[in-house]
Amino acid sequence: MRTDNFQAPDYYNLDELLTEEHKIVRDAARKWVKREVSPIIEDAAQKAEFPKSIISGLAEIGAFGPYIPEEYGGAGLDQISYGLIMQEIERGDSGVRSTASVQSSLVMYPIYKYGTEEQRKKYLPKLASGEFMGCFGLTEPDHGSNPAGMTTNFKDKGDHYLLNGAKMWISNAPFADIAIVWAKDENGRIHGLIVERGMEGFTTPETHNKWSLRASATGELIFNNVKVPKENLMPNKSGLGAPLGCLDSARYGIAWGAIGAAMDCYDTALRYAKERIQFDKPIAGTQLQQKKLAEMITEITKAQLMAWRLGVLRNEGKATSAQISMAKRNNVEMAITIAREARQVLGGMGITGEYSIMRHMMNLESVITYEGTHDIHLLITGMDITGIPAFQ
Ligand code: TGC
Ligand code: FAD
């Protein structure tokens, strides 16, 4: 079992920008990750299994619905606490953070924002405690970056809706109790439906042979004439803006989460470089390795400042979708670059499961693709600053 010696870098004394509550929440999540995630995660990733044993712990540290009000079972925390929890979890593994992101921002958030009071009361407390797990179906086999083209659809059959279609690449799908499914009505308008496991015609085949996010379960959602009760449609928002609104919340969490993965890679590389002797001295004493380490801590510090400022804007209700998109793109690219550099600092040892770096690096290949690819986020910034969409 790998010993977790992680020490978080804080080069610009960013702790001084945090409240006592932020630090308590962050430290609780950090301790939990050291105790419950680090000892088991490498094995889970090697076996390509989601470690279901950690679900109750994720609920206890407030990772399921951190900012959902307490009356619905959430933790009632602010956006910076939410970000810090995601940072700490992804420090352990991006796949575990994925599970928490999906549950919070892509399942609880739409039910809270777009659902009825009955739907909130029925689902949110169970999702917050981990009794129910959820997934989010937007992507389809032929519509990834362009979800507006989706073909999954439902027809009004009087006392129920009839749902047909398929979603692909869905995190948590293989074991989720409920799915938030985005589908078009007979007029081509997008709505969110809550589909429950057990509904006839609804299946969730698992996606195998991933080299990335191996500790996160991914699958398809297949709808073959599924009868969905009318009360399962979330009525308070429709159109593509509804699922994209959920993505704002999840992308914000990823902007923090990626910092966690980067911090773990940097911390591991720094410690290794100080201990590893070649040519009769620690490799940390060589200019080339110092350049790598110096650039890593610089980029981590910039990303931390960006995430913190975005959190302040989110708390004030002022963060724009384009600002969130920029932070997701920047911080994930920062993390994947650091993972690749850190891997080199460890030489051959960097490719083994003795260290977390290669796992982070492979995980981040998914993180840079999901929730909008790196290129799509460049185009979102491009559109924001020029006013001209360049998607088509
Ligand atoms: P466009 O015409 O620009 O917009 C359509 C409507 O949506 C509104 N909108 C937003 N609303 C809220 N938040 C946002 N971020 C929004 N962006 C746009 C917009 O105002 C408009 O509203 P209205 O009222 O005028 O209709 O839409 P478009 O079709 O041109 O597409 C724009 C584009 C390409 C940026 C968008 O489609 C996009 O972001 N594509 C990327 C797809 C994506 O991110 N998929 C993620 C799937 S979920 C996932 O990956 C989960 S991974 C989970 C994990 O394991 O962590
Ligand atoms: P495509 O859209 O086919 O893109 C392929 C390439 O073309 C990319 O490099 C892209 O940047 C580029 N490209 C596309 N359009 C343009 C353009 N206009 N200009 C320039 N370049 C362009 N989805 C969900 O709904 N729910 C989930 O829970 C979920 N979990 C996921 C988990 C994993 C492990 C992965 C890998 C994906 C997950 N996704 C999920 C799907 C994810 O959001 C999509 O993979 C992503 O949006 C990209 O879609 P695509 O894979 O179809 O790529």
pLDDT score at 49: 97
Query: Ligand 1: which residue has its CA nearest to atom 48?
Result: 371
CATH of 14-129, one of 3.40.50.720, 1.10.287.1080, 3.40.50.11260, 1.10.540.10: 1.10.540.10
For residue range 198-252, what is the model confidence (pLDDT) as tens digits?
999 999 999 999 999 999 999 999 999 999 999 999 999 999 999 999 999 999 9
Ligand 1 centroid – CA 348 distance (Å): 41
Q: Which ligand is in closest contact with the Cα of 141?
A: 2
For residue range 21-63, what is the model confidence (pLDDT) as tens digits?
999 999 999 999 999 999 999 999 999 999 999 999 999 999 9
Ligand 2 centroid – CA 201 distance (Å): 26
Residue 324 has pLDDT above 70, yes or no: yes
Overall average pLDDT of the 314-318 stretch = 98
Q: Which ligand is in closest contact with the Cα of 377?
A: 1
Residue closest to 133 by CA, chosen among 58, 49, 237, 44:
58
For residue range 114-152, what is the model confidence (pLDDT) as tens digits?
999 999 999 999 999 999 999 999 999 999 999 999 999
Q: Which ligand is in closest contact with the Cα of 147?
A: 1
pLDDT score at 32: 98
Q: What is the 3-state secondary structure (H, E, C) of 3-35?
A: CCCCCCCCCCCHHHHCCHHHHHHHHHHHHHHHH
Question: For ligand 2, which residues put their CB under 6 angstroms from it?
Answer: 102, 135-139, 144-145, 169-171, 213, 218, 366, 369-371, 373, 375-376, 391
Query: Ligand 1: which residue has its CA nearest to atom 47?
Result: 371
- Confirm whether 71 is a catalytic residue: no
CATH architecture under which domain 134-234 falls: Beta Barrel (2.40)
pLDDT score at 269: 98
Q: Probe ligand 1: pick from 107, 244, 373, max atoms within 8 Å of CB? A: 244
Q: How far apart are CA 55 and CA 74, in angstroms?
A: 15
Ligand 2 centroid – CA 348 distance (Å): 32
For residue range 342-359, what is the model confidence (pLDDT) as tens digits?
999 999 999 999 999 999
Residue closest to 26 by CA, chosen among 59, 56, 63:
63
pLDDT score at 83: 98
Which ligand 2 atom sits closest to the C-alpha of 212? 34
For residue range 77-112, what is the model confidence (pLDDT) as tens digits?
999 999 999 999 999 999 999 999 999 999 999 999
Residue closest to 195 by CA, chosen among 216, 224, 157:
224
Ligand 1 pocket check for 376: Cβ under 6 Å: yes
For residue range 155-210, what is the model confidence (pLDDT) as tens digits?
999 999 999 999 999 999 999 999 999 999 999 999 999 999 999 999 999 999 99
Note the maximum CA span of the chain.
79
Residue 299 has pLDDT above 80, yes or no: yes
pLDDT score at 15: 97
Q: How far apart are CA 126 and CA 330, in angstroms?
A: 34
Domains of the chain, residue spans: 14-129, 134-234, 241-386
Residue 1 has pLDDT above 70, yes or no: no
Which ligand 2 atom sits closest to the C-alpha of 210? 34
pLDDT score at 3: 80
Q: Which CATH class is domain 241-386?
A: mainly alpha
Residues above pLDDT 90, as percent of the chain: 99
Question: What are the two backbone dihedrals, phi and then psi, of residue 131, each rounded to the nearest 5 degrees?
Answer: -65, -40
